[in-house]
Structure 1
């Protein structure tokens, strides 16, 4: 067998305004190109036109709209602010876009991109009697990588993640954590045909009908690709992580992740203190030898960043130089 993927992005889609019929716009553009949807196709549409059709255009600039679209700030670097949106997406300026829109206006992301994808899927399937999937896309940067690529922010009717855990390769090796984000891969493939300035907001990807769910099943949506708060290793930017730990507000602790084990905490505190730190007994009690950086304030910061709270620091009960540290889990519930 030969793997084959084809992508068609039709020209001729007019400017989209609030209330526009996206299904009709796509079908008309395909018809003009002598094309039609087929069973197994995945329709890919930019979030920009979905937002325009749903009336998510606002007057003003990105900065004015940013607060309302932000769940929390992840990092700031000069004029760039990376935030976690109310959708759970981590994006520059909350995905607010000032391109391909009239000057003095911005476009916000759809309120619920998965619901937007489900509505478009239902509409297209009803009009064409075809079995389809739908992906709503937006452009995002990647940690450690230059440039941007399109990702799935909404999806309906297809598996968004393939799980290879437990399968074996041709050499008999068991795969452990291989899980292709196929919805993101479809988004990236579609963007290659759509282009950024070509006025092609729709694409049809053909060749991955195996990803589709039954016609009445919209599936988990692209929200299944979003890690829960605290589940990512990089919940804050490097500088923001330091400042947040120094402030020590319990309400900001979730992005650091679950509390580490007590032995791991002791090892962390030993690095900070420059002295040996060991667990004492079975309780939440640590003993620190005297060291040049053994100040309780620094240890409290390290505890906070690792899911613990420094309750008390006092003389060691055995009379040796150093501190007895009493700690307790921060016990902040992870947010979805």
Structure 2
């Protein structure tokens, strides 16, 4: 059985405040009576990034628009007033995760500089105060590419298995599980948010019943950063419109999000579909007797190949692996 609760009575967190102490005060851990709410070995503690950011001095007297460039690795997509970016943590989020809610007017909160390190500090402090071996998740809210609404995800973690791999195992019917890998840290973050709510001033939650995910004392694990796909490994590195613009512009700095070069067969199929001209094999490359140079150049860029002109047509070659 899994139980989750979020304590009331959490006061405003300020710069330099001890997040672990604030949590324990809210849980009533210093009370003489054991209410069942004291931390136990195997519990997982969820802490919103908002209180971590406040304690770590990440508030700025500024605006989202002013802070966004400094928190952005690159722009992924824009739709009206919404800008989706890959932020400095590698997370793809609206406005880089900069928060303008539940803060004083004219103030915004940046995400913690290193959420995994924040989670480690909180875990160590909780163990020192209580002796309990717990996992810690730092959570934040994010949208989903294919669904309306938002859910909480883990942006920091310590002492916790963040990803379970079932590859190589079989289900009850004997079917092999090839790529099944639950992101359990994200599932814990979303579970915690159900108890915390968005407007209830409950930034902490305790999840009990998954002690199997909690690592031994002193082992903090790889952290939530390992859940972030590296640049180029995401199948949706740009928004649909932005991908068209980047491919047509063909700037080398924009290439990485398209990923590793595609196979010759994939590129040949795309060339035939776009131009109506079936390319023919030419050594390791492809040769197009005639075609739309601009379209072929954009396809070559998006698929990680190189286009060049020859006397007998246009040549497509896959660059050597560096």
Measure, in 2, the Cα distance between the counterparts of 1:22 and 1:66.
Answer: 26
1:104 to 86, 92, 106: 106
Residue matched to 1:28: 25
Normalised TM-score (structure 1): 0.92
Q: Deviations over 1:89-128 (max 9, x none)?
A: 0000000000010000000000000000000000101111
Asked if 1:325 corresponds to 2:315, the answer is yes
Q: Is 1:188 aligned to residue 190 of structure 2?
A: yes
Asked if residue 315 in structure 1 is aligned to residue 308 in structure 2, the reply is: no
Structure 2 Cα separation of the partners of residues 274 and 210 of structure 1: 56
Q: Choose which of 138, 143, 146 in structure 2 pairs with 1:144.
A: 146
Q: Which stretch shifts more, 187-196 or 33-42?
A: 33-42
1:265 paired residue number: 267
Q: Quick one: which of 115, 132, 135 aligns to 1:133? A: 135
Q: Secondary structure at the residue paired with 2:153?
A: strand
Segments of structure 1 that go 5 or more residues without pairing to the other structure are: 317-322
4+ runs deviating over 6 angstroms: none
Q: SS at the partner of 2:25?
A: helix
Deviations 1:302-335 (A, max 9, x none): 000001121x22332xxxxxx241434286x7xx
Deviations 1:199-235 (A, max 9, x none): 0000000000000111100000001110011111100
Structure 2 unmatched ranges of 5 or more: none
TM-score (norm 2): 0.95
Structure 1 equivalent of residue 14 of structure 2:
17
User: Partners in 1 of 2:273 and 2:172 — Cα distance?
Assistant: 44
How does 1:104-253 map onto structure 2 within 5 Å?
A: 104-253=106-255
Tell me the number of residue pairs that the alignment of Structure 1 and Structure 2 aligns.
Answer: 317
CA RMSD of superposed structures (Å): 1.4
Conserved? CA contact 1:69–1:86, under 8 Å: yes
Contact kept, 8 Å, 1:118 with 1:134, in 2: the verdict is yes
Matches within 5 A, 1:67-82: 67-82=69-84
In 2, are the aligned partners of 1:263 and 1:278 still within 8 Å (CA)?
no
Which residue in the other structure is 1:278 paired with? 280
Q: Distance in 2 between matches of 1:181 and 1:107?
A: 26
